[in-house]
Amino acid sequence: MTGFAEYDQFDALGLAELVRKKEVSARDLLDEAIRRREAVNPSINAIIHNMDELAYQAIDAGLPGGAFTGVPFLLKDILAAYKGVPMTHGSRAYRDYVPDYDSEMVKRFKQSGLVTFGKTNCPENAYVGVTEPLLHGPTRNPWNLERTPGGSSGGSAAAVAARIVPMASGGDGGGSLRIPGSCCGLVGFKASRGRNPYGPNAGEPWFGQVQEGILSVSVRDTAAALDVTNGPDIGCPSTAPLPSRPFLDEVTAEPGKLKIAWSREPLVRQGVLGEESVQALLKTVEQLKSLGHELTEVTPQLNKETLGHGHIMRMMCAAAADLREAKAVLGRRLQPDDFEPETWLIARFGESISAAAMEVVSRDLHAQRHVFENFMQDYNVFLTPTLSKPPVELGEFLVDGVDRLVSRVARHSSLGPIAKMLPMMLPELAKKNFDWVASTPAFNITGNPSVSLPLQWSAEGLPMGMMFTSRLFDDACLFRLAGQLEREFPWADKRPSLASY
C-alpha cells in the first residue's frame, strides 16, 4: 500500500483487517487520517478539536484487541464525553468545559480498538438538523460546499463523506444520524430505543428519543459497531432485548421476501414532499420490487400534528433542562451570550410548559407508538424518503426577522409573556422545523429502529437517502435488507470530488 492511496478503498473493518495482518500499522492509518484532515478540514470545518497526541499515546500504550483495532475515529462533540478532552456541545457556555470521565459509549468505542483523534462539529445542544453553531461556525457538505451536511451529527458525516475516516460517532434524537446520512451519502442507522447505553450521566435524553450510534460508508461497519456498543450499562433506564446473533451476521443473510409499506406523505406535518424526493422514492420502490419484495403504498394513520407539536414541546423542555444543567455544571450564573438566541427562546418556552401539559403530551405520543406498531404488524418494513428534498443551502434555517427579535427578547422576558406566545409560535416553529425534516422524528418518538441508506441522487448529483423502519427491536431485519440493497445497488465508490487525495 504505497503512500496509502488505497486508504479510502477500505471500510473500517477492512482497515482493521489490514492491521491484524500487519500489512499496515495503526500509526500508519492515523498518519494518513491526519494528512487527510489537514488537506480538507479547512474547507468543510467538520473537526473542531484535534486529539493527535492522545491518539498516538493510545497506540504506543497498546490498543485493545477488538473489531476495529487501529482504525482512526472521530467523536461527535456532545454526549460522547472523553476524559480530559473538551466537550462543548456546540455552545459558547461550554467552550472551556472538560469532562473528568468517559461516557459508556466512549468506553465501548475504546474497547473495540478504535483510535480517536478528534471531535466533530454539531449545532448547539443538537437541537436542529443543520450544523451551524456560532461557537465553531458552519460545517459544509463535501458534495457541495454551499450546502449543509445535515445535523445534528453534521461534522461527523462531513468527515466520513470526505473520507477522512471510514466512520464517526453521532446521535439521533429527531433524525440526527439519518439526516446527515442522507445529505452526505452515508449509512445513518438509529437503533431501537434502549439498544445502546446512555451512562453514566446522560439519563435518557429527550424523553428517551435519543440513540447514539455511528455514521459510516458501509452497512457492515454499522452492524459491527452496534455489536460492540449495544447492551445496557449500570442503571440504564431503557433496555432492548439482546440480539439472538451478532448484527454483523445479519448483513450477509438473505432477507427473504419482505412485505414493505411505503408512503410519499410527510409524517410529522401536513402537505407534500418535494418532487425530487418523491421521484427518488418511486425509483426505490421499483428497485425493491426487482428484488422480489412485496410493496404496498399505504400511510399509517398517525396524527401528524400530535407528533410534530409533541416533538417540539419535548425539545423545548429539554432545552430548559439543558440551561439549568449548564448553570449547575459550570457553577456560575448564565450570561446572555452563553447560548444562541434561538436556544434561549425554546428554553424559555420550555420553562413555561407545565408538568401536566407535558404528561398529556407524553400520553398522546405513547398512543401514537401503539398506532404505528399496530400498523407494522402487517408489514416487515416501512419506507419513506429520509428528507423532503436534497441538502439545503447553508443558512436556510437560521432565525431572522421577527423570530430573531423574539429570540433576543426571550433572554430577558418573564415566563408570563412567553407562555402567552407559545400557542402562537408553536405552529410556526413546527412549520420551520419540519418543512425539510418531514418524517424522521416520528421514529424517535416511537422508538423503532430506522436507517437512511444512500440509494438515490438528485439532479445536481447530491445524495438523497431513503429511510427504512422496522418493527420495534427488529434491528436485524433492517441489516438484512440494507445488506441486500448495498450488494445490489452499491454506493461505496460514489464520493465527492473533494475526497480525491
pLDDT digit string (tens) for 356-393? 999 999 999 999 999 999 999 999 999 999 999 999 99
Query: Within this chain, do residues 133 and 171 fall inside the same structural domain, yes or no?
Result: yes
Task: Grade residue 157 by pLDDT with cuts at 50, 70 and 90.
Answer: very high
CB of 56 closer than 8 Å to CB of 151 = no
In a domain, 271, yes or no: no
In a domain, 439, yes or no: no
pTM for this entry: 0.96
Query: Within this chain, do residues 406 and 455 fall inside the same structural domain, yes or no?
Result: no
Give how far the C-alpha of residue 164 lies from the chain's centroid of Cα atoms, to the nearest Å: 18
State what percent of residues in the chain have pLDDT above 70: 94
Sole residue written with cell 473542531: 48
pLDDT of residue 201: 86
In the set 91, 103, 156, 176, the catalytic residue is: 176
Query: Within this chain, do residues 376 and 454 fall inside the same structural domain, yes or no?
Result: no
In the set 91, 103, 112, 152, the catalytic residue is: 152
26-34 mean pLDDT: 97
Taking the C-alpha atoms of residue 434 and residue 63, their distance in angstroms, rounded to an integer, is 43
pLDDT of residue 238: 84
Query: Within this chain, do residues 116 and 81 fall inside the same structural domain, yes or no?
Result: yes
Task: Grade residue 414 by pLDDT with cuts at 50, 70 and 90.
Answer: low
At residue 127's C-alpha, the angle toward residues 121 and 128, to 5°, is 75
Taking the C-alpha atoms of residue 132 and residue 122, their distance in angstroms, rounded to an integer, is 7
Domain count, the chain: 2
Query: Within this chain, do residues 126 and 168 fall inside the same structural domain, yes or no?
Result: yes
Taking the C-alpha atoms of residue 92 and residue 136, their distance in angstroms, rounded to an integer, is 9
Quick: pLDDT tens for 67-98. 999 999 999 999 999 999 999 999 999 999 99
pLDDT of residue 202: 81
Query: Within this chain, do residues 229 and 350 fall inside the same structural domain, yes or no?
Result: no
Name the more confident of 203 and 37. 37
Per-residue pLDDT at 217 exceeds 80: yes
Per-residue pLDDT at 432 exceeds 80: no
Element (H, E) at 89: none
Per-residue pLDDT at 423 exceeds 80: no
Per-residue pLDDT at 420 exceeds 80: no
Query: Within this chain, do residues 386 and 422 fall inside the same structural domain, yes or no?
Result: yes
In a domain, 335, yes or no: yes
pLDDT of residue 427: 73
Does the annotation count 76 as an active-site position? yes
Quick: pLDDT tens for 107-141. 999 999 999 999 999 999 999 999 999 999 999 99
pLDDT of residue 401: 46
335-345 mean pLDDT: 91
Q: State whether residue 141 is helix, strand or coil.
A: strand
pLDDT of residue 481: 99
Task: Grade residue 2 by pLDDT with cuts at 50, 70 and 90.
Answer: very low
Element (H, E) at 433: helix 415-434
Element (H, E) at 63: none
CB of 199 closer than 8 Å to CB of 104 = yes
Task: Grade residue 1 by pLDDT with cuts at 50, 70 and 90.
Answer: very low
Query: Within this chain, do residues 412 and 454 fall inside the same structural domain, yes or no?
Result: no
End position of a domain, from candidates 410, 434, 458? 434
Query: Within this chain, do residues 184 and 253 fall inside the same structural domain, yes or no?
Result: yes
* Phi, then psi, of 13 in degrees rounded to 5: -65, -35
Taking the C-alpha atoms of residue 49 and residue 56, their distance in angstroms, rounded to an integer, is 15
In a domain, 389, yes or no: yes
Cβ neighbours around 414 below 10 Å, total: 9
Of 371, 390, 377, 387, nearest to 445 (Cα)? 371
CATH of the domain at 64: 3.90.1300.10
Task: Grade residue 397 by pLDDT with cuts at 50, 70 and 90.
Answer: confident
pLDDT of residue 203: 81
Query: Within this chain, do residues 325 and 367 fall inside the same structural domain, yes or no?
Result: yes
Quick: pLDDT tens for 290-332. 999 999 999 999 999 999 999 999 999 999 999 999 999 999 9
Segments forming the whole domain that contains residue 417: 304-434
Per-residue pLDDT at 266 exceeds 90: yes
Instruction: Judge if the upstream peptide bond of residue 244 is cis by omega within 30 degrees of 0.
Output: no
Does the annotation count 83 as an active-site position? no
In the chain, the amino acid numbered 26 is A
- In 25-85, which ranges are E strands? 47-50, 72-76
In a domain, 283, yes or no: no
Query: Within this chain, do residues 216 and 92 fall inside the same structural domain, yes or no?
Result: yes
In a domain, 441, yes or no: no
In a domain, 279, yes or no: no
Does the annotation count 119 as an active-site position? no
Query: Within this chain, do residues 214 and 122 fall inside the same structural domain, yes or no?
Result: yes
In a domain, 291, yes or no: no
